[in-house]
Structure 1
């Protein structure tokens, strides 16, 4: 969902909104999810890889 919204903003020429959404979803969702999943669960290093899909689901 997040990828579609960012692509819509880019296609309409409104690059700033798309960039802000992409950066916020990474900094607010993906990085903390990677930290939590890698340090506070049994996933270890695999928790970082599992967190890559988190920003794409956060706006839905």
Structure 2
């Protein structure tokens, strides 16, 4: 069983393989457990990443 790894890159690769495009690079976020929650500071990083997506559009 794989207990560690980043989901962002494989998801982005599958999206591109199916013809989708990325407007910014994928980003990974750290969680405390396999079902969450996010580790301290990660919600803020996610918000900053979302703002970058909006700015890029």
| Common fold: TM-score over 0.5 | no
Length-normalised TM-score, structure 1: 0.36
Length-normalised TM-score, structure 2: 0.37
Report the structure, 1 or 2, having the larger helix content: 1
